[in-house]
């Protein structure tokens, strides 16, 4: 380390010992704001869904049956469960426990994957296409957009795992883990709303 | 003189005292020539690019407006046909809103925010470059529609079902829908950057209640963007889905709803007009105090008004849909909310008046533009209140009365401040003062031309002339006024050209500006004009709202600082030498961390090209491009994840 | 089309609202702009020190909050009371159904079983209920001198309750951008006293009389046998198309092409042979007719009353 004289006009720079936490990095704040806009996007979509519904005489439109509940409920639990290991993993890496982080990420990945596979199967079994009517369009676009978010999350998970396996993370430097888990929690929380609106509420008269 | 240790983040060679400046220059200067151009992440360069590009679009849209006026100057004229006219007014509106107004303000924000906050760059410099390139490419994208002979022709709000495939089979509306989603990326990314910068990059001591009002306005604007732009992206993408894939969101026959589209559009559309307007008031709140030689009256009031306007702006969108036949009760609510918004505007207005009233006013060109703004905005605001009156709006909606209202606010209350801001801040950017003589000529021509153009439009509206008509029959009482308006628009246009001439002239001949030509109060005037690449050799510590007026050296409060070692160190020259700058606490402004300002990189440019490829492809073959897009996106995510620790601190 | 020269109850009501808000607005403008100018000049003359910030709150409180709030309250009261009045449906109205089409208006009187286009006859003094729908995109029905405007929205029936108080001919025009010829989508409202109106109704209810001259007969022949019949209806003949305006009373209508030109034989002739030169882009294609045929059709159409 080289000491060098630098002109600082005026008086002294007194370096006071650190107090409190160093605060969150800007990347984290950026992700938070990004998530806020994403949340607005979903809010807009779900509001549109209810707007269309409020205008309709029957719902779903065109004799489509309300979506089946049992299986999706199970996979809702699966998706929500995938958030839990991440809390654990984050906690672990903050203490430098790389092994635990790897396990957590893997677990979360498997659960997320199961969810998306189920969504694929569900799409295959649906009796209507997205051109059929406004209900069908809304159903596909909303679940599809959420699915896209899950896929992106899975991809991020893979990258973080790779880094974990290659030991590119440490107790001090693991922003990726934080950002990824923030995002993943968001994707899970959004699902609660999507599920309640598209699946549960469709059974209400 | 103090000796401080250089942060370990960088292993630079020892620097001799006499060569410090040079060493800093080496660390910050972009590579010369073309590579440096495409790779730069310097917020000042990006800011200037934003402004220049936006002004090019302004003149394009202005020329389109002159064509509109040529066509309407006389009844039953045939300067352009109906199709061309519809394309012209659509592209005029789209360009002015999306490609001029929003980006030019982002340009000022980019240039000024770090300087006003006392930091060396934005929070995410590469993202910043990315959002510029996206803006540029989306503009080129929309304008490339002219090459295919199918520019958008659905009006700037592109109501369905007119814009559905059944009634608009060409590519015209695809350019619009994709273009809107495209530029939305730029606006959103920019807003994220502004928010994080304003919260985390303020110089120590610059607590929220000491931020310059312009920063407040940018912050308010950015929050409105975050909460509204996703909705217009949604509207345009659902429209595009309807067009491309045959979904039925907006088709009444299949359970869709045309009104849903209007709700979505205006849920963004109304906040959007304040997104444009609020930063313009921020400029005024900087200019008026400087030229009244005293602090802005009612600082807290004004800041609160900005916040209030932002909130209320989300509760008034239905006033654009009063004639759609909704229940009266619902509409009355939106009518009342629209009236309410006059109060925070009034607060700001009287704060400006009081500032001048109790100050010592200098009638410089920026100040003239500010005064012109006051007189014009007052009228536009009052007509805004008039059209918020439900029954009256039922009469004049979609008539020239509305065209008059929104040009008074958009062209008057936004463009006049922007011109004032040019005269105020361009000396900082170029180091040269603009000519006051030419400036005053420009102002008076614009002011007179403006009123001759847009005032008679109110009367036309009352005489029953609808908007968006490509021609009209003689003998309806509209002929003379239309001619007058067309003449006025020429005068206004010449006035704007005088400012262009002034800018060109001043580049070479203007008197040197010096650091602080106006005796202003905020930090950007504490550094040389143009500022060094690193903005501040020493990050100032701020002890008040008006650091440059409050005399006492900026650095004297340094002792009081408590923070993380390396962050505090980077405030000094060491930071400038190592391309770092402190990140500070959002509330207490305690230096918390280091931000390593990234070096030039092609990445933003390449990423923006990738995005552009996806949008262009959507026009050609949606399925193929979907695949390519997914691939590009995946690469992007992987890259991002891989580099995060290294880059984002 | 001056909306401050009303011929209908709604328009009159709104005109008086205008005068209230115009008065208030003008007063606010003069006072506030006065403050701006005085402040700017006064500040320019000042020498020496500027005044302390403490003085500002009076300006902001009184000028920015209290006075505007009072004015806005007043405006809100005016708004609510007028809105209520304008949305009040009257008893026993005459119902008229108007369908917006690109770029003309189909008009019918369901109770009277009358169909016409681009020209709406109404009795003075009787409450009217206009039912507004569209067969394609959004349009907006607006007669500035008579009443407020209301949009026609797909999948929705909107109502406009109004009353004409002064006899006369009022021009209306589509106010929502609806594509290429939005500018040429006008219509007229003919407001007559009750007896004239009743007479008009009676005449409209009868199918048009057959051709009375040879040329007219030939015109009818051409019309029903050419493509015209696919788009237009003439009651009592095989022509029953609905793509274009009903022509059964064309001879009595004042304008052609949705208010674009006066209904004269010359214009009609031009319209039929090349409507695109009168109203570029309208949805009626040029129909190739020989000179004589065209003359005959014109004669026939002008005879339809
Ligand atoms: C910069 C942009 C901007 C700004 C600032 C405003 C400001 C306002 N606007 Fe405007 N508006 C537009 C841009 C803007 N508008 C555009 C682009 C459209 C049309 C879009 C389209 O259709 O293409 C539009 C259309 C529009 C409509 C819909 C009209 C229609 O289509 O039928 C309405 C209706 O309520 C409205 C209302 C208002 C109000 C109440 C304000 C208020 O914020 C004004 C408040 C300010 C003041 C009142 C002046 C200062 C106050 C005082 C000095 C206090 C004393 C004053 C009083 C007591 C009155 N606007
Ligand atoms: C910031 C916003 C903004 C600005 C600044 C303007 C500026 C102008 N506008 Fe615009 N206008 C809108 C936003 C704006 N407008 C919007 C949103 C619409 C609604 C669109 C819709 O309905 O969808 C609209 C609609 C609109 C209409 C209504 C069209 C219609 O309904 O049929 C008209 C008609 O007169 C008009 C006129 C003008 C004029 C004369 C100017 C003048 O101020 C322009 C001044 C001219 C210049 C600045 C050019 C100067 C250049 C030269 C003289 C040549 C130099 C050449 C080179 C350098 C190459 N505008
Ligand atoms: Cu119909 Cu405009
Ligand atoms: Cu609005």
When comparing pLDDT for B144 and C88, which is higher? B144
Q: For residue B17, name the pLDDT band (cuts at 50, 70, 90).
A: low
Torsion of CA B374, B377, B379, B385, to 10 degrees: -130
Ligand 2 pocket: which of B52, B65, B498 to mutate (most atoms within 8 A of CB)? B65
Under DSSP, the state recorded for C65 is I
For tokens 């109502």, name the residue.
Answer: C159
C245, C117 in Cβ contact below 8 A? yes
Residue C94 sits at φ, ψ, to 5 deg, of -85, 120
Residue B227 Cα to ligand 1 midpoint, Å, equals 20
Residue C50: which pLDDT band, with cuts at 50, 70 and 90?
low
Query: What is the structure's pLDDT at B8?
Result: 38
**Residues from chain A contacting residue B229 (CB–CB below 8 Å):** 37
Residues in chain A, total: 205
Task: Say whether pLDDT at B503 is over 90.
Answer: yes
Three-state secondary-structure class, residue C161: strand
Q: Is it the case that residue A1 has pLDDT exceeding 50?
A: no
Distance CA C34, CA C46 (A): 18
Q: Residue C9 above 50 pLDDT?
A: yes
Nearest CA-CA distance, residue B372 and chain A, Å: 36
Specify the range with the lowest mean pLDDT, choosing from A18-32, B257-271, B416-430: A18-32
Q: Which atom of ligand 3 is nearest to the CA of C138?
A: 1
What is the C-alpha separation between A6 and B5, in angstroms, rounded? Answer: 9
Q: Is C188 in the pocket of ligand 3 (CB under 6 A)?
A: no
**C126 — alpha (psi -120 to 50), left (phi > 0) or beta?**
beta
Provide the token pair at C237: 């003949």
Distance CA B508, CA B502 (A): 10
Q: Which of C132, C177, C136 is nearest to C150 (CA)?
A: C132
pLDDT score, position A15:
41
Long-range interactions of B634-642: CB distance < 8 A, separation 24+? B634/A155, B636/B607, B636/B610, B637/A152, B637/A155, B637/A156, B637/A159, B638/A155, B638/A158, B638/A159, B641/A156, B641/A159, B641/A160, B641/A163, B641/A176, B641/A180, B642/A159, B642/A162, B642/A163
Q: Does the structure show a pLDDT above 70 at B10?
A: no
B7 lines ligand 1 (CB under 6 A): no
- Any chains having at least 3 CB pairs less than 8 A from chain C are B
ipTM score of complex: 0.94
Length of chain C as a residue count: 305
Pocket of ligand 2 contains residue B62 by CB under 6 Å: yes
Predicted confidence (pLDDT) per residue in C63-115, tens digit: 999 999 999 999 999 999 999 888 888 888 999 999 999 999 999 999 999 99
Chain B contact for A11, CB < 8 A? yes
Out of B241, B595, B638, the one facing A26 most closely (by C-beta) is B595
Q: What is the largest CA-CA distance in chain B?
A: 83
Comparing C54 with B457, which gets the higher pLDDT?
B457
Distance from the alpha carbon of residue A122 to the mean position of ligand 4, in angstroms: 42
Q: Which residues contact C258 (CB under 8 A, 6 or more apart)?
A: C103, C104, C105, C118, C184, C185, C186, C187, C279
| Residues of chain A contacting B562 with CB distance shorter than 8 Å | 16, 19
Render pLDDT for A90-99 as a digit per residue (tens, 0 to 9): 999 989 899 9
Q: Please give the average per-residue pLDDT across C137-160, as a whole number.
A: 96
Mean pLDDT score of chain B: 90
The closest alpha carbon to B177, from B195, B216, B150, belongs to B150
- Average of per-residue pLDDT across B214-240: 97
DSSP of C180-234: TTGGG-EEEEEEE-HHHHHHHHHHHHSPPPPP-SHHHHHHHHHHHHSTHHHH-B-
Is the peptide bond prior to A60 cis by the omega test (within 30 degrees of 0)?
yes
Handedness of CA A192, A198, A202, A204 (dihedral sign): positive
Helix axes B82-94, B43-72, angle to 10 degrees: 150
C258 min Cα distance to partner chain B (Å): 12
Q: Nearest 5°: phi and psi at C139?
A: -125, 175
| Average pLDDT over every residue of C116-137 | 95
Residues from chain A contacting residue B593 (CB–CB below 8 Å): 22-23, 25
Model pLDDT for residues B611-639, shown as the tens digit of each residue: 888 888 888 776 777 777 778 777 877 77
- Within 6-35 of B, beta carbons closer than 8 Å to A belong to 6, 8, 12-15, 17, 20
Contact B286 CB / ligand 2 (< 6 Å): no
pLDDT at A5 over 50: no
Residue B14 has what pLDDT? 59
- Interchain contact, A176 vs B641, CB within 8 Å: yes
Backbone phi, then psi, for C89, in 5-degree steps?
-75, 140
Query: Residue for token digits 């349009």?
Result: C139
Residue A194's φ and ψ, nearest 5 degrees, are -65, -45
More confident residue, A145 or A24: A145
Name the residue among B161, B394, A130, B153 with its Cα closest to residue C156. B161
Rounded average pLDDT over B340-368: 94
3-state helix, strand, coil in chain B (%, to 5): 70, 5, 30
Predicted confidence (pLDDT) per residue in B57-99, tens digit: 999 999 999 999 999 999 999 999 999 999 999 999 999 999 9
When pLDDT is averaged across residues A38-52 and rounded to a whole number, the result is 97
Reported as a pLDDT band with limits 50, 70 and 90, residue B562 is low
The whole-angstrom distance between residue C4's C-alpha and the CA centroid of its chain comes to 16
CA A92 to chain centre: 20
Region at B561 (left for phi over 0; alpha for psi -120 to 50; beta for the rest): beta
Q: Which residue has the tokens 């569209």?
A: C134
Total length of chain B: 649
**Which two three-digit tokens encode residue C301?**
């159409």
Q: Which two tokens stand for residue C70?
A: 């009072």
Most confident of A11-15, C25-29, C219-223: C25-29
Are the CB atoms for B75 and B478 separated by under 8 Å? yes
Interchain CB contact of A71 with B (< 8 Å): no
* Span B259-273, pLDDT tens digits: 999 999 999 999 999
Judged by CB atoms closer than 8 Å, whether chains meet at C53 and B295 is answered as yes
DSSP letter for B9, please: T
Q: Are C139 and C176 in contact (CB under 8 A)?
A: yes
* CB-proximal residues (5 Å) to ion ligand 4: B 270
CA nearest neighbour of B386 among B462, B481, B478: B462
Query: Is A129 near chain B, with CB under 8 Å?
Result: no
Q: Work out the mean pLDDT of chain A and round it to a whole number.
A: 87
pLDDT of residue B6: 38
pLDDT bin (cut points 50, 70, 90) of residue B134 is: very high
| Ligand 2 in reach of B63 Cβ (< 6 A) | yes
Calpha distance B471→B598 (Å, rounded): 55
Instruction: Please report, for residues A83, B127, B641, B647, C180, the alpha-carbon distance to residue B602 in angstroms, rounded to integers and kept in the order given.
Output: 36, 12, 18, 15, 44
The answer to whether A160 touches A176, Cβ cutoff 8 Å, is yes
pLDDT over 70 (residue C179): yes
Q: Is residue B65 lining ligand 2, measured as CB closer than 6 Å?
A: yes
What one-character-per-residue DSSP string does B316-338 give?
A: -GGGG-GGG---HHHHHHHHHHH
Q: Which residue has the tokens 């500018």?
A: C183
Comparing B52-66, B528-542, B565-579, which segment has the lowest mean pLDDT? B565-579
Does the pLDDT value for residue B221 go beyond 90?
yes
Tell the residue nearest (CA) to atom 52 of ligand 1: B346
Q: Are C148 and C82 in contact (CB under 8 A)?
A: no
Pocket test for ligand 2, best of B152, B403, B472 (most atoms within 8 A of CB): B403
Answer yes or no: is the C-beta of C114 below 6 A from any ligand 3 atom.
Answer: no
Regarding beta strands B580-584 and B591-596, do their DSSP bridges make them parallel or antiparallel, or are they unpaired? antiparallel
Query: Using an 8 Å Cβ cutoff, are B488 and B452 in contact?
Result: yes
| Runs of H (alpha helix) within B469-580 | 479-509, 565-571, 573-578
Model confidence over A55-68: pLDDT tens digits?
Answer: 998 889 988 999 98
d(CA A176, CA A156): 9
Distance (Å, whole) CA B537 – CA C299: 90
Find out whether the beta carbon of C239 lies less than 6 Å from any atom of ligand 3: no
Judged by CB atoms within 8 Å, which residues 551-570 of B form the interface with A? Answer: 553-556, 558-559, 561-565, 567-569
> Quick count: other Cβ atoms within 10 Å of Cβ C58?
11
Q: What six digits make up the tokens of C47?
A: 């020498």
pLDDT at A20: 55
Q: What are phi and psi of C228, to 5 degrees?
A: -50, -45
Spell out the SS3 assignment of B396-413: HCCEHHHHHHHHHHHHHC
What is the nearest CA distance from B343 to chain C, expressed in angstroms? 6
Contact B593 A9 (CB under 8 A): no
Q: Which two tokens stand for residue B13?
A: 């060679």
Q: What integer pLDDT is reported at residue B419 of this predicted model?
A: 97
CA B419 to ligand 2 centroid distance, Å: 16
- What is the nearest CA distance from B219 to chain A, expressed in angstroms? 13
């Amino acid at each position: 380390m080289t000491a060098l004289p630098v002109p600082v006009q005026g008086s002294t720079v007194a370096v006071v010992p650190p107090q409190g936490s160093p605060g969150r990095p800007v990347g984290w704040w950026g992700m938070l704001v990004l998530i806020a806009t994403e949340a607005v996007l979903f809010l807009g979509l779900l509001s549109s869904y209810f707007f269309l519904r409020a205008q309709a005489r029957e719902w779903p439109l065109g004799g489509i049956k309300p979506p089946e509940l049992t299986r999706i409920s199970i996979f809702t639990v699966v998706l929500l469960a995938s958030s839990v290991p991440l809390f654990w993993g984050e906690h672990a890496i903050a203490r430098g426990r790389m092994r635990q982080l790897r396990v957590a990420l893997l677990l979360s990945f498997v659960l997320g994957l199961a969810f998306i596979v189920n969504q694929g199967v569900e799409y295959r079994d649906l009796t209507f296409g997205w051109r059929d009517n406004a209900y069908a369009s809304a159903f596909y676009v909303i679940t599809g957009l959420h699915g896209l978010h899950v896929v992106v999350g899975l991809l991020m998970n893979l990258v973080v795992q790779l880094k974990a396996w290659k030991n590119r993370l440490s107790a001090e430097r693991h922003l990726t883990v934080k950002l990824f888990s923030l995002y993943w929690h968001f994707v899970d929380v959004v699902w609660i709303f999507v599920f309640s609106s598209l699946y549960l509420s469709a059974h209400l008269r | 003189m103090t000796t401080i240790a250089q942060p370990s983040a960088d292993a630079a060679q020892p620097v001799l005292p006499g060569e410090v400046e040079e060493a800093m220059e080496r660390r910050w200067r972009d590579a010369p020539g073309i590579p440096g151009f495409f790779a730069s992440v310097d917020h000042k360069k990006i800011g200037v690019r934003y402004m220049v590009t936006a002004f090019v679009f302004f003149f394009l849209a202005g020329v389109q407006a002159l064509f509109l006026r040529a066509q309407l100057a006389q009844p039953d004229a045939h300067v352009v046909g109906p199709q061309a006219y519809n394309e012209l007014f659509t592209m005029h509106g789209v360009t002015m809103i999306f490609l001029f107004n929003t980006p030019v303000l982002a340009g000022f924000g980019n240039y000024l925010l770090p300087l006003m906050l006392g930091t060396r760059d934005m929070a995410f410099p590469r993202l910043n470059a990315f959002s510029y390139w996206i803006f540029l490419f989306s503009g080129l994208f929309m304008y490339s529609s002219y090459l295919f002979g199918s520019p958008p022709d659905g009006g700037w709000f592109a109501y369905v079902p007119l814009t559905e495939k059944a009634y608009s089979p060409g590519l015209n509306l695809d350019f619009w829908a994709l273009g809107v989603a495209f530029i939305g990326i730029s606006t959103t990314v920019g807003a994220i950057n502004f928010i994080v910068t304003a919260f985390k990059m303020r110089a120590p001591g610059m607590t929220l209640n000491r931020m310059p009002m312009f920063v407040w306005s940018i912050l308010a604007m950015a929050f409105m963007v975050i909460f509204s732009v996703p909705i217009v992206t949604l509207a345009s993408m659902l429209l595009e889905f309807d067009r491309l894939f045959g979904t039925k969101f907006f088709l009444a026959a299949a359970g869709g709803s045309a009104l849903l589209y209007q709700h979505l559009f205006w849920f963004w559309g109304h906040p959007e007009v304040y997104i444009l307007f609020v930063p313009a008031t921020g400029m005024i709140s900087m200019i008026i105090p400087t030229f009244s030689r005293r602090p802005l009256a009612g600082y807290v009031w004004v800041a609160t008004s900005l916040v209030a306007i932002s909130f209320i702006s989300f509760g008034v969108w239905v006033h654009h849909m009063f004639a759609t036949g909704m229940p009266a009760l619902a509409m009355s609510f939106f009518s009342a909310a629209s009236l309410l918004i006059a109060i925070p505007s009034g607060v700001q207005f009287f704060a400006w008046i009081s500032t001048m009233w109790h100050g010592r006013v200098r009638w410089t060109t920026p100040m003239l533009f500010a005064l012109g703004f006051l007189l014009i905005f007052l009228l536009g605001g009052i007509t805004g209140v008039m059209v918020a009156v439900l029954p009256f709006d039922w009469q004049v909606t979609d008539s020239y009365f509305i065209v008059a209202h929104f040009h008074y606010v958009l062209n008057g209350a936004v463009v006049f401040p922007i011109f004032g801001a040019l005269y105020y801040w361009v000396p900082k950017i170029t180091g040269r003062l603009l000519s006051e003589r030419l400036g005053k000529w420009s102002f008076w021509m614009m002011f007179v031309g403006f009123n001759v153009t847009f005032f008679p439009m109110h009367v036309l509206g009352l005489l029953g002339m609808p908007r968006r008509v490509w021609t009209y029959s003689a003998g309806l009482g509209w002929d003379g006024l239309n001619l007058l308006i067309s003449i006025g628009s020429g005068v206004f246009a010449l006035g704007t050209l005088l400012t262009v001439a002034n800018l060109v002239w001043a580049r070479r001949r203007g008197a040197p500006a010096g650091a602080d030509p106006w005796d202003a109060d905020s930090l950007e005037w504490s550094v040389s004009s143009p500022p060094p690449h690193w903005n501040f050799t020493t990050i100032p510590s701020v002890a008040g709202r008006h650091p440059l007026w409050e005399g006492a050296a900026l650095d004297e409060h340094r002792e009081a600082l408590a923070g993380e070692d390396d962050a505090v160190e980077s405030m000094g020259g060491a930071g400038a030498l190592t391309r770092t700058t402190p990140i500070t606490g959002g509330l207490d402004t305690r230096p918390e961390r280091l931000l390593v300002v990234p070096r030039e990189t092609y990445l933003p440019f390449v990423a923006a090209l990738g995005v552009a490829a996806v949008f262009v492809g959507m026009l050609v073959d949606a399925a193929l491009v979907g695949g390519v897009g997914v691939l590009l996106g995946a690469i992007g995510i992987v890259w991002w994840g891989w580099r995060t620790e290294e880059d984002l601190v | 089309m001056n909306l401050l020269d009303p011929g209908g109850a709604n328009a009159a009501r709104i005109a008086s609202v205008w005068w209230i808000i115009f008065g208030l607005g003008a007063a606010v403008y003069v006072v506030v702009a006065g403050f701006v100018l005085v402040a700017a000049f006064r500040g320019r003359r000042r020498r020496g020190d500027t005044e302390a910030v403490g003085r500002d709150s009076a300006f902001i409180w009184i000028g920015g909050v209290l006075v505007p709030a009072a004015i806005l309250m007043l405006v809100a009261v005016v708004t609510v009371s007028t809105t209520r009045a304008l949305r009040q449906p009257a008893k026993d109205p005459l119902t008229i159904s108007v369908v917006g089409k690109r770029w003309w208006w189909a008009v019918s009187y369901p109770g009277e079983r009358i169909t016409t286009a681009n020209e709406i006859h109404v009795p003075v003094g009787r409450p009217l209920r206009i039912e507004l729908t569209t067969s394609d995109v959004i349009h907006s029905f607006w007669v500035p001198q008579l009443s407020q405007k209301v949009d026609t929205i797909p999948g929705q029936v909107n109502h406009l309750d109004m009353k004409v108080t002064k006899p006369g001919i009022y021009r209306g025009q589509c106010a929502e951008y609806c594509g290429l010829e939005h500018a040429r989508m006008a219509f007229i409202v003919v407001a007559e006293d009750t007896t004239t109106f009743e007479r008009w109704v009676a005449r409209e209810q009868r199918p048009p009389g057959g051709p009375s001259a040879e040329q007219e007969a030939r015109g009818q022949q051409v019309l029903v046998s050419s493509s015209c019949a696919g788009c237009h209806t003439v009651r009592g003949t095989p022509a029953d198309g609905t793509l274009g305006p009903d022509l059964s009373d064309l001879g009595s209508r004042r304008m052609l092409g949705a208010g674009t030109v006066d209904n004269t034989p010359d214009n009609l002739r031009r319209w039929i042979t090349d409507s695109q030169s009168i109203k570029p882009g309208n949805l009626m294609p040029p129909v190739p007719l020989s000179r004589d045929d065209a003359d005959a059709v014109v004669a026939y159409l002008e005879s339809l009353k």
